[in-house]
């Protein structure tokens, strides 16, 4: 394709969405550089696992800025509400958009207050800020979180890939701010290179391969021998399950911190499992990720809806009766697909975390490779979203006429 032909191709919708997303990213970068308090420097130890978790959901607790909480309260609210309606999706779908919005905003503000209280108390305990400014700074943190949630919402409607670009920029920023980036030695680089190679192969495997189930389409009267099928990706939940898991893990860490301080009376209480080289913390995180990815995949596949659509249209699988039999048939396969995808994602994310346990001296640098792996997966998902928009843009005139 020559340059003249390339210029004749106009992807107007895609261009508008990309520009809107770039504007959202600019606002995010600007807000994340607005400090809300003058702080004294501190060399005290921080929980590496919590730092890693919050940086992968658009936040940053190494500095106190407008968007320090990131999207963690909102993502946590979304996943909790999704899992609560998992058993009865029809009941959840009957709620009006306004009702869902009110519930989301209420629980997001509640979680933002809890997490904001924890972060500010950490800074106060380190002597980096004064207690007198606590209420005002908590209000600013919550307001900043709600602004970021609104930006992510707007990007979902008018931009590309919803909250994912915000998380992508946050991860890149966190990686370059990591002081251990310049301390990578040859051994760590080799280990990291091998892990990234394995991860790339596995990611291509779960993204490129589809599980297909051939069915009979009674409306298809063509003489073509092409099969009609239902196709499922091996990981229907995509990279969003990783972001959700980091936000849940951050909330879990915050609650354990606060409860531990209340029980022990020690304001400096730090749970040991929130370190990157602690096997208990790594195990908890991986188990949470596998379970969460499994149930999110089940939600995304929504076998009940497919079975109902088949029953209405008259389509069927060979040897399977419509209705409940079709739903049970799809459920069995959905369980297998969801389990395979969850185990692969769990293995991918566990590679650098387990390496930090068994290989001494690299746990300070291993968070960089963990973030790089997540960065690769998120980039793949964003690229896929852009390809979808390119596909629909080709048929824009047809869709505008008949849809």
Answer whether 347's CB lies under 8 Å from 202's CB: yes
Task: Kindly indicate the confidence band of residue 301, based on its pLDDT and cuts at 50, 70 and 90.
Answer: very high
Q: Has residue 134 been placed in a domain?
A: yes
Checking if the pLDDT of 9 tops 60, the result is no
- DSSP 8-class letter at 397: H
Phi, psi of 191 (to 5 degrees): -60, -45
Answer whether 60's CB lies under 8 Å from 175's CB: no
Rounded-to-integer distance, Cα 352 and Cα 359, Å? 10
> Would you state the pLDDT for residue 386?
85
Average pLDDT, the chain: 84
Mean pLDDT: which of 115-129, 153-167, 227-241 is highest?
153-167
Regarding pTM above 0.75, the answer is yes
Q: Has residue 1 been placed in a domain?
A: no
Residues facing 65 on adjacent strands: 35
Q: What is the pLDDT of residues 74-94, one digit of tens each?
A: 999 999 888 877 766 666 667
Answer whether 133's CB lies under 8 Å from 359's CB: no
Higher pLDDT, 365 or 204: 204
Q: Has residue 2 been placed in a domain?
A: no
Higher pLDDT, 214 or 389: 214
Phi, psi of 50 (to 5 degrees): -70, -40
* 70, 76, 81, 83: CA torsion to nearest 10: 140
> Would you state the pLDDT for residue 400?
55
Checking if the pLDDT of 16 tops 70, the result is yes
Q: Has residue 66 been placed in a domain?
A: yes
Task: Kindly indicate the confidence band of residue 70, based on its pLDDT and cuts at 50, 70 and 90.
Answer: very high
- Give me the CATH number covering residue 324: 1.10.3370.10
Task: Kindly indicate the confidence band of residue 212, based on its pLDDT and cuts at 50, 70 and 90.
Answer: very high
Task: Kindly indicate the confidence band of residue 169, based on its pLDDT and cuts at 50, 70 and 90.
Answer: very high
Q: What is the pLDDT of residues 317-364, one digit of tens each?
A: 999 998 999 999 999 999 999 999 999 999 999 988 888 777 766 666
Task: Kindly indicate the confidence band of residue 63, based on its pLDDT and cuts at 50, 70 and 90.
Answer: confident
Angle at 193 between CA 241 and CA 340, to 5 degrees: 35
> Would you state the pLDDT for residue 39?
65
Q: Among 34-43, 50-59, 335-344, whose mean pLDDT is lowest?
A: 34-43
Q: What is the pLDDT of residues 257-295, one digit of tens each?
A: 889 888 888 877 878 777 766 888 889 999 999 999 999
Domain coverage including residue 367: 8-402
- Long-range CB contact pairs, 277-286, < 8 A, 24+: 277/356, 277/357, 277/363, 278/357, 279/357, 281/49, 282/350, 282/353, 282/354, 282/356, 282/357, 284/249, 284/252, 285/49, 285/245, 285/249, 285/353, 286/346, 286/349, 286/350, 286/353
Q: Has residue 3 been placed in a domain?
A: no
Q: Has residue 269 been placed in a domain?
A: yes
SS3 category, 215: strand
The mean pLDDT of 179-208, rounded to a whole number, is: 81
Mean pLDDT: which of 46-60, 118-132, 253-267 is highest?
253-267
Q: Has residue 321 been placed in a domain?
A: yes
How many domains would you assign to the chain? 1
Please name which of 155, 147, 148 lies closest in space to residue 17, comparing C-alpha atoms: 155
Residue partners of 110: CB distance under 8 A and separation at least 6: 73
Task: Kindly indicate the confidence band of residue 36, based on its pLDDT and cuts at 50, 70 and 90.
Answer: confident
Higher pLDDT, 284 or 402: 284
DSSP secondary structure string for all residues of 292-347:
HHHHHHHHHH-HHHHHHHHHHHT-B-TT--TTHHHHHHHHHHHHHHHHHHHHHHHH
> Would you state the pLDDT for residue 399?
52
Token representation of residue 9:
């191709």
């Amino acid at each position: 394709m020559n340059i003249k032909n390339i210029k004749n191709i106009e992807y107007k919708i895609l261009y508008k969405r990309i520009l809107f997303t770039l504007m959202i990213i600019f606002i995010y970068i600007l807000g994340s550089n607005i400090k809300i308090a003058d702080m004294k420097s501190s060399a005290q130890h921080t929980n590496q696992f919590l730092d890693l978790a919050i940086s992968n959901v658009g936040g940053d607790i190494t500095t106190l800025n407008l968007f320090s909480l990131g999207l963690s309260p909102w993502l946590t609210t979304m996943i909790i509400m999704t899992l609560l309606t998992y058993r009865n999706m029809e009941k959840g779908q009957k709620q009006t958009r306004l009702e869902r919005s009110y519930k989301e905003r209420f629980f997001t503000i509640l979680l933002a207050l809890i997490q904001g209280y924890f972060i500010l108390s950490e800074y106060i305990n380190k002597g980096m800020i004064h207690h007198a400014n606590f209420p005002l700074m908590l209000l600013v943190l919550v307001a900043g979180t709600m602004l970021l949630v609104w930006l992510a919402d707007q990007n979902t409607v008018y931009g590309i890939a919803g909250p994912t670009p915000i998380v992508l920029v946050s991860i890149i920023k966190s990686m370059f701010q990591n002081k251990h980036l310049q301390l990578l030695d040859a051994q760590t680089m080799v280990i990291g290179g091998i892990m990234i190679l394995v991860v790339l192969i596995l990611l291509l495997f779960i993204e490129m391969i589809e599980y297909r189930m051939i069915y009979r389409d009674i409306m298809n009267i063509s003489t073509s021998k092409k099969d009609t099928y239902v196709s499922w990706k091996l990981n229907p939940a995509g990279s969003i399950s990783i972001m959700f898991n980091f936000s849940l893990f951050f909330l879990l860490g915050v609650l354990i911190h606060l409860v531990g301080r209340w029980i022990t009376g020690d304001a400096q209480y730090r749970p040991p499992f929130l370190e990157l080289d602690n096997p208990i913390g790594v195990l908890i995180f991986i188990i949470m990720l596998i379970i969460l990815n499994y149930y999110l995949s089940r939600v995304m596949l929504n076998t009940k809806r497919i079975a109902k659509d088949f029953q209405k249209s008259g389509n069927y699988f060979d040897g399977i009766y419509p209705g409940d039999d079709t739903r049970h048939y799809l459920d069995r396969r959905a369980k297998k697909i969801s389990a395979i995808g969850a185990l692969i994602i769990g293995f991918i994310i566990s590679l650098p975390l387990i390496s930090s346990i068994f290989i001494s001296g690299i746990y300070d640098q291993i968070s960089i490779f963990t973030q790089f792996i997540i960065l690769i997966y998120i980039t793949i998902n964003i690229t896929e979203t852009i390809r979808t928009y390119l596909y629909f843009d080709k048929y824009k005139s047809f869709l505008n006429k008949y849809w």
